Structure 1
Amino acid sequence: MTFRETLRALARWRRTRCAAGVSFVLGVGLLFVPHFNELGFEAALATAAVVPIAAGLVAAGVRRLDGALDRPGALLAALLATAGLLVGLPLMMLTLFMFEAPICDPVQGLAFFALLPLCSALLAAVVGWFLALVVATSRRATGAWLVVVAASLGLVVYRFYATPAVSFFGPFFGQYPGVLYDTLIPVSGRLLTYRATNLAEAALLLALVRWGWDPVARRLSLRRLIRARAAALAVPPLLGVCGLAWALGPELGHRTDTAHIAARLGAHAAGRSCDVYGPVEAPAEELRLVAEDCDFRVRQIRRFAGLPDNGGRVTVLLFRSEEEKAARMGAGRTSVAKPWRREVYVHEPGFPHRILKHELAHVILGELCDGPFRVPARWGGLLPLPGLVEGGAVAAEWPVDELTPHGWAAAMDRLGLLPPATTLLGIGFLGENAGTAYTAMGSFVRWLRDTHGPEAFRRAFRDGDFAAACGRSLEALWSDWRAWLARIPLDEARMEAARARFDAPGFFAMRCPHAVAEAAARRDDRLARGDVAGALEAQEDACRLSGDDPGQRLARLDLAVRLGRTAEAEALARTLLAEPALGRRPRDVVRVLRADAAWQAGRAAAARAEYEDVLPRVPRAPERRLLLVKLYVLAHPALSALLRDELLQLGRPGRSPESAAAAWRARLEEAARQAPDDAVVGYLLGRALYNDREFGPAERRLRATLASGGLPLELRLEALALLVNLQYRRGAWDDAARNAGTLLAADSEEYRALGEDWLERVAWRRAR
């Protein structure tokens, strides 16, 4: 049959029509799901999960069509056209209805459709066609196709379970990029090289048929293939390319394993409970401290859960950056853990590490759980309960800033932002704002453990059977917890901080999250290269794509301030402040940025008045410290001339973070020469020395600054916290404990928690 005859026969065939029906139903279904109804990554991935399997089923069964094998080339062309049409059905529906959904980045959406479902469907058609030629009957060829699909998906499942990977490549779906909270999903070089590998594999199958097909016997002939000179020139190189691509898979980012990542990181530090693999260029002492930090956190978590101190070892893979982590195992901005592998994947060294305890909690609490993944789950461990997974980790970590998670949960409840228990316990957890869901479940789990005891916590955590663990239903426990939260006192400033923090949409309620993340990344890249116009254009794109989200408009205002465009910044601030719907916390952020612009424009008095008005309502310690420093520098003209531009991050396009930090330190050193007894300058210089890892000079500077007694309380507490860190590093346990005790007595939730943590750490270290 000719190409047209074959195409008409395929169109009349029941299996093709069923495949088209599946594709059509998929397209209709996509229109009703947020983000999947946009021409973007989610729709492309959903199409890639369904349509290629259908395309392969059509191709594998073509022996049923009379005369289909007469011309294998025409048959393949018709199957490829059919596969393209099957992909085109949902794409056409998304395009027709795209004005009903946000128009985000249709060009990238088309690129994803080409690289995910289209390439997958075309490859499926080639593989199905090959099976139809080499397997004797249509039924067996169809079965063989299903085995191939199952094997490819089984390999993905194996890699998820047996390796660090959370991002996966597969020939018949393309790529699953990683975790939900990483919204930046570009068309990566890894995906392009993977598709190039698939092209070589398809070319190999074509070559085998081209020179091995016996048209008389209607089967592949090995003898015919061996005798064909052209085959000898084409098949071995194609085999070599496919083999080389497989061998280079870890380097190309197509697959990974712990040994490969550890080798690329290059350094290892062993603690009593932990093995830390980190960058070879990192100071050995820093990696040793991370291993020690890991040991300490493991002990804390085990005691929180009521587990004995002895347990299996934990492996920590400490990547250089989020970009390296994304390339090596798939998770970029988001740190993750695999409890069943007892592995944690984080980036950027630091002591104490700011994320490590949360991820370690997943591993240690996994000892309480059954099932293959060692997470809270039902159905024999196969249906995870994400609310308990993350709630348990937050409860064990217990992060405290201006409020504890209990305080934040109480504020959520009073603001009407607390989701129902059933939503947070199940899959609905993933649809909520991440900060809201994590904090609420962390508070609930911590309350459950403190109120009903570690044994009840351990039983409930395993599978969410609260009735068996506590003798009360989830709804009753949730009501008890909310009644307890109602007794927590909260002032207006913290309520407004909670509104700003938690009154935000979850992932599925965001507008164009991937396109906005891409625009923000493009803005930062252009700014780093000194392309001011490009950075402004990218930020305008982020505002437009997000539907003028207040957060993006604040970012636009911040960019104008940093670029020294004071008139534009003040106009943007006026527009934002004129909107009645803008909350108090965002309004205060706008006013601070407006004050920054006024300071740049030489209106120091106006800037000072704005800062002083906002300061009492700022609950977060870092923001309060920055405002206090700005007010202090404003009040001293000599300091203002030296420090203003660096303090406001002005004139930084094209400068690396390292050069900006060096410039800031140089200004501080000059200020210290001019005013050697200035306590605020001493604090800032001590902090800069600490950031540059000059720990001895940093400690001496901070000790002298604290002894002078001229620091405001917030700066004094932060200087004490830095000093405790430095004293712990050099083994001055008595000094560290004494200063940690001072933090413990502070009138601040954050510093009290920090002091308590340091005291516990010092006692643990002394006892080793």
Structure 2
Amino acid sequence: MSLWRFFSSPMIFAFDPFVGYFSGTLYDTVIEPGPAMLTYRLGSFATICAAALWASVLERRDDKPFGLVLDLRTTRTRALASLALLATLASAGNVLFGTKLGHFSTAASIATDLGAEKHGERCDVVYPATTREQEARLLVKDCDEQLAAVSMALGVPGPARVRAFFFRDAEDKKRLMGAAHTYIAKPWREEVYLQLGGYPHPVLGHELAHVVAGTFGRGPFRIAGDLGGFLPNPGLIEGIAVAASPDDEDLSDAQWGRAMMQLGLLPNMGRVFSLGFLGDASAKSYTLAGAFIEWLAKTEGMATVRQWYGGGDLTALTGKDWPTLDRAFREYLATVPLPEEAESFAKAKFARPGIFGRKCPHLVDALRHEADVCRDTQRFEEAIRLYREVLAKDASDFASQQSVAVVQRRHGDRAAGEADLLAMTKSDKVPRTYRDRAEEALADADFIDGNYEQAAKRYEGLAARSLDEDGARTLEVKAYGARHLAARPSVRALLLGDEKRGPDIFLGGVELGSWNAKAPSALAGYLIGRNLIGRGFFEDGAKVLDGVWERLDELPFARIKRETLRQRAIAACALNDATALGKVRAQIESPSDPFKGAAGGRRDATLRMIARCSHDAVARP
């Protein structure tokens, strides 16, 4: 029954009388079935009781149909039969109301729960009824645009229609179909399942690529794999989606691949396109698979990739064995330009083990999640206790190491917290990303304590060596706030908070408005415009950023200039403003391109987005 529901409905989770609860995905490590597990067990108990009670009042009679008859001659047997009837009704009710109790879901029950649906050129979008009308229209627009883009990338038209389910949040998605933080596609159902994520949605294109690839996939699940598609090839399944819809990271997949090769982290590519894909961290496996598929499509053609996906033998299709393909791919990676700092970031990002290489990942992640909740609700002593419990089980859980030190520094033993953060920044055993986070936490503490010069130096040092475009931009804004009195209250409220409370978007907005009113600033305008667009106020955000664009040279950092153009392009896409899209593209392709000198991944992603949404945009005066 569970297998049939997996095949015939959106759900991937399962309840079983013997096994219990199966969440359906490897990558969600915090597994909490909630009250549904209790009601399911009660239903199972009712079923067992009903069977036992009916058996106790049945009497074998050869002269009766089926050879059985109810024995209701005594008060005892009539009482047992009554209990059997009640248990049967309880068991039946458990099944009939299974969707309400969370035991299983259907496409219809999920659509009813979410409550709203819109239809586009090729996308049928199911979404929460509480979604604003403008956001709902953008969901449909985004789906149609990204579906057309991945169809073009893969060289096939794809299915006539695709159904996209957008859930309120990760917990809502987990409750209704089983995957919390893992995005899911079911190519054989021509459906994708995601939580709301703004416009443009960062993962929608990837999941749609799975559905489009299903048109040339194998077997009943329409995927790549052996044995008629019943033994999946996860590297090929995910690699083709990554290649068809690259993300907007600062480095391209090929650049990350070269960094891994230089660090000695690049496995034999034949291993990536086997079940060995699951042995490494997901970020590493997905990235390498995508880089290889992109290279293969360039050298052998996308038609070859499609044939391989559909069951062809790659060595026969290319006339090259795996060692030859592996060697040619490495030769290609050696030609890919790479920023100086890429290797250290790649080591931190890709050297960590996959889920099967971690210690007690489900328990550790559940405890860390509980500690994070305590921290965010200002129960700091309990948070510290839980973080330490995590570290007792896995001493190499660097996220908990950093979090407990930060809580100590700001809300507990300040000296001990600072010492722990300093120790992290100096330890070669701590990955680069966590060393930098510890350094940033020390800078934040300096800022809050009023040690602005020290804070600025730390922020600037981190930003100078960071490849994380978003993170480095935040560091630059913090450094600016530390050095400029007029910006300080806004930066503190928006990004840091104070000794008692964390950042507050409302207070940050008030301070930004005050700063910009007293002394109009291009940076204040950028922060206002970006936050307006991030919250769906595209018209207002576009107007503010147009004013900033006219003063682009006044912005203090190149990264903020780049983000100004990217955010203006997002607003133009949302508003179908072809004129603004053309201006942004012209700026990016001009000699004064602010992306010049950057790694390249974000620039390419911005141009792809402009191309994707330009087909139905309208010119404006």
Secondary structure at 1:764 match in 2? coil
Whether 2:583 is the aligned partner of 1:725: answer no
Cα separation, 2, equivalents of 1:341 and 1:382: 16
Offset of residue 387 of structure 1: 0.8
Cα separation, 2, equivalents of 1:641 and 1:763: 39
5+ residue gaps, structure 1: 1-154
8 Å Cα contact 1:562/1:650 also seen in 2:
no
8 Å Cα contact 1:595/1:611 also seen in 2:
yes
Cα separation, 2, equivalents of 1:758 and 1:356: 13
Cα separation, 2, equivalents of 1:310 and 1:361: 9
1:279 corresponds in structure 2 to 128
Secondary structure at 1:752 match in 2? helix
Cα separation, 1, equivalents of 2:381 and 2:129: 38
Whether 2:45 is the aligned partner of 1:199: answer yes
Cα separation, 2, equivalents of 1:435 and 1:226: 69
1:325 corresponds in structure 2 to 173
Secondary structure at 1:276 match in 2? strand
Q: Which amino acid aligns with 1:716?
A: K
Question: Of Structure 1 and Structure 2, which has the larger fraction of its residues in helix?
Answer: 1
Cα separation, 2, equivalents of 1:649 and 1:358: 36
Whether 2:301 is the aligned partner of 1:453: answer yes
8 Å Cα contact 2:577/2:618 also seen in 1:
no
Secondary structure at 2:237 match in 1? helix
Whether 2:106 is the aligned partner of 1:257: answer yes
CA distance 1:605–1:591, change in 2 (3 Å): same
Q: Which amino acid aligns with 1:759?
A: I
Cα separation, 1, equivalents of 2:433 and 2:84: 66
Q: Which amino acid aligns with 2:603?
A: R
2:368 corresponds in structure 1 to 520
User: Identity, % of aligned pairs?
Assistant: 29
1:699 corresponds in structure 2 to 542
5+ residue gaps, structure 2: none
Offset of residue 449 of structure 1: 0.7
1:223 corresponds in structure 2 to 70
CA distance 1:429–1:703, change in 2 (3 Å): same
2:92 pairs, out of 234, 237, 243, with: 243
CA distance 1:215–1:492, change in 2 (3 Å): farther
Q: What pairs up with 1:301-700 in 2 under 5 angstroms?
A: 301-307=150-156, 309=157, 311-463=159-311, 465-560=313-408, 563=411, 566-650=414-498, 660-675=504-519, 677-700=520-543
What do the CA deviations read for 1:278-298 (whole angstroms, capped 9, x no partner)?
A: 011101221222212111212
Cα separation, 1, equivalents of 2:67 and 2:409: 70
CA distance 1:727–1:306, change in 2 (3 Å): closer
Q: Which amino acid aligns with 1:438?
A: Y
Q: Which amino acid aligns with 1:760?
A: A
2:36 corresponds in structure 1 to 190
Offset of residue 583 of structure 1: 4.2
Cα separation, 2, equivalents of 1:734 and 1:226: 88
Cα separation, 2, equivalents of 1:226 and 1:579: 81
Which shows bigger deviation, 363-372 or 224-233?
224-233
Offset of residue 215 of structure 1: 12
Offset of residue 736 of structure 1: 1.9
Cα separation, 2, equivalents of 1:705 and 1:305: 38
Secondary structure at 1:597 match in 2? helix
8 Å Cα contact 2:341/2:467 also seen in 1:
yes
> Number of residues paired by the alignment?
607
Offset of residue 177 of structure 1: 1.4
Cα separation, 2, equivalents of 1:300 and 1:692: 25
1:290 corresponds in structure 2 to 139
2:610 corresponds in structure 1 to 759
Which shows bigger deviation, 276-285 or 571-580?
571-580
What do the CA deviations read for 1:675-732 (whole angstroms, capped 9, x no partner)?
A: 2x11111111222222333333222222212222311221121122111222232232
What do the CA deviations read for 1:186-232 (whole angstroms, capped 9, x no partner)?
A: 25222121111101111111211233356999x99423158632034
Q: Flag the structure with more relative contact order, 1 or 2, with Cα contacts below 8 A and sequence separation at least 6.
A: 2
Cα separation, 2, equivalents of 1:163 and 1:454: 31
Secondary structure at 1:492 match in 2? coil
2:581 corresponds in structure 1 to 736
8 Å Cα contact 1:546/1:552 also seen in 2:
no
CA distance 1:490–1:729, change in 2 (3 Å): closer
Superposition CA RMSD, Å: 2.4
Cα separation, 1, equivalents of 2:497 and 2:361: 27
Q: Which amino acid aligns with 2:584?
A: N
CA distance 1:560–1:207, change in 2 (3 Å): same
8 Å Cα contact 1:645/1:651 also seen in 2:
no
CA distance 1:355–1:256, change in 2 (3 Å): same
Q: What pairs up with 1:112-151 in 2 under 5 angstroms?
A: none
Offset of residue 652 of structure 1: 6.8
Secondary structure at 2:50 match in 1? helix
Offset of residue 169 of structure 1: 1.2
Which shows bigger deviation, 378-387 or 230-239?
230-239
1:25 corresponds in structure 2 to none
Offset of residue 566 of structure 1: 4.5
What do the CA deviations read for 1:643-686 (whole angstroms, capped 9, x no partner)?
A: 32542244576x8x9xx3222222222222332x1111111122
8 Å Cα contact 1:526/1:532 also seen in 2:
yes
